[in-house]
Amino acid sequence: MSEIITVTGFHGTSSNNVEKILSEGFKPSGNEYDWLGDGVYFFQDAPERAWEWARKIHKGNGVVIGANIKLEDCIDLLDIRWTGVLSEMYDAFLKKVKLMDIKMPNQTVGAHRLDRLVINYAVGFLAERSMNIRCVRGAFIEGKPIFPDSAIFDRAHVQIAVRDIMLIEKTWVEPFGGRNVIEP
């Protein structure tokens, strides 16, 4: 068994939600576009990315909450161990969809409906076999290359969907940064 690690995550929200989140805790979402399935979403180690998202969605009302998160009972897509599992879950999910004669969901840049359904299916399948999945972590390439022919993208990030809020150990309001590391 591997050691349980704790990471720092950043959650963009509106100023209207901050006090409620800090006093009552986070509420997992179940949006159809949530690519890692149901959960509370965090950008790992990326406060500026969370601020960018919060300002885009909530305009001048955006706020970022930082949190320490234990990655316990985690589908960690940064480890190749899980890619084969999800591939098999996709095959099983596809068979189920065909048997039920249901249309497969559309996958788009902003709405990862199929990813969400396959991950939620996998979590349910594993739960039936006494394996409780409490969070999911994945890396995502977004944006555009930072220079011609680069494999580094300007909005790439690691995201965590916390399904069990008991994994969130400490929270705080993250101060707005907006600073450059160096001036070119």
DSSP per residue over 33-80, as a string? T-TT-SBEEEEET-HHHHHHHHHHHHGGGEEEEEEEEE--SEEETTST
Q: Which of these, 153, 133, 130, 131, lies nearest to 141 by C-alpha position?
A: 153
User: How many domains is the chain partitioned into structurally?
Assistant: 1
More confident residue, 155 or 107: 155
Average pLDDT on 74-97 reads 94
Does the structure show a pLDDT above 70 at 120? yes
Is there a domain that residue 183 lies in? no
C-alpha to C-alpha distance for 122 and 116, rounded to whole angstroms = 10
Please tell me the total number of residues recorded for the chain in this structure: 184
Query: What pLDDT is attached to residue 1?
Result: 53
Tell whether 95 is covered by a domain. yes
Query: Does residue 182 fall inside a structural domain?
Result: no
Whether residue 1 lies inside any domain: the answer is: no
pLDDT, residue 134, reads: 98
Percentage of the residues of the chain whose pLDDT score is greater than 70:
95
pLDDT computed for residue 107 by the predictor: 81
pLDDT of residue 111: 80
The residue range of the domain holding 111 is 7-173
Per-residue pLDDT reduced to its tens digit, 154-167: 999 999 999 999 99
pLDDT tens sequence across 20-40: 999 999 999 988 888 899 999
Closest to 122 in 3D by CA, of 80, 84, 165? 84
pLDDT of residue 180 exceeding 70, the answer is no
Is 164 a domain residue? yes
Give yes or no for residue 184 having a pLDDT over 80: no
**Looking at residues 59-88, what average pLDDT do you find?**
95
SS3 state at 101:
coil
Residue 180 maps to a domain: no
User: Is residue 25 one of the residues assigned to a domain?
Assistant: yes
Residue 179 lies in a domain: no
What's residue 182's pLDDT? 55
Q: Average pLDDT of 119-142?
A: 96
More confident residue, 1 or 141: 141
- Output the pLDDT for position 179: 53
